[in-house]
Structure 1
């Protein structure tokens, strides 16, 4: 999984993509056929649900961006990484830790999200 860092960067870019058509194209490219995303705030099963989940987060936090917070750690078909959400160049209002499981062809199959810091 030599390109896992790049895959995670592209994954985070989906969360920042505000053009619905471009976001959906990226989801269709990076995610498996029947993916699942889950975190303490909800579960999204399938690409449509993941797209809707990302859109809802963008509505809740307009003008904020997701960015990596540290290196990606990976082995076999699993990766873990920390991310931050906040204004561009500003302090993070949310910090999370995701564990991604990839298909054999390298697409995201499951992402388990954990929230370490959430806004009040």
Structure 2
């Protein structure tokens, strides 16, 4: 499913990027009014989302987000599991997100859940 792979790839690329690269990904693939909600954050807009991503990078420097398992999509929404950890290693953090796209195919809303977080 190219459609699903593209959504998940764009999403994870945004979370793995920094600086100008992340700003370009947010601008290209996320609605300006995008909302992001998980157990630790509730933000809106590119600046709010970038701040959450910066916080994750600060807490877990050098770690990367990867897709875990297969995504499922219908209509304009995709659900998938992701991992966060050192590149090439079993991710110690696992989560589950639902991404909803706007009418133009940009990320409009994300609902995140944390399944496994290190203590």
TM normalised by structure 2 equals 0.95
Quote how far apart the aligned CAs of 1:82 are: 0.3
Quote how far apart the aligned CAs of 1:33 are: 2.1
Q: State the SS of the aligned residue for 2:110.
A: strand
Moved over 6 A (4+): none
Distance 2:63 2:94 in 1: 13
Aligned to 1:35: 34
Q: State the SS of the aligned residue for 2:83.
A: strand
Across the aligned residues of Structure 1 and Structure 2, the Cα RMSD in angstroms comes to 1.2
Q: Flag structure 2 segments of 5+ consecutive residues without an equivalent.
A: none
Quote how far apart the aligned CAs of 1:114 are: 0.3
Quote how far apart the aligned CAs of 1:15 are: 1.0
Aligned to 1:24: 23
Once the two structures are superposed, residues 61-105 of structure 1 have per-residue CA deviations (whole angstroms, 9 ceiling, x without a partner) of 001110000111000111100000010111211000000111111
Q: State the SS of the aligned residue for 2:91.
A: coil
TM normalised by structure 1 equals 0.94
Aligned to 2:93: 94
Aligned to 1:108: 107
Moved more, 4-13 or 79-88: 4-13
How many residues were matched structurally?
119
Distance 1:4 1:34 in 2: 22
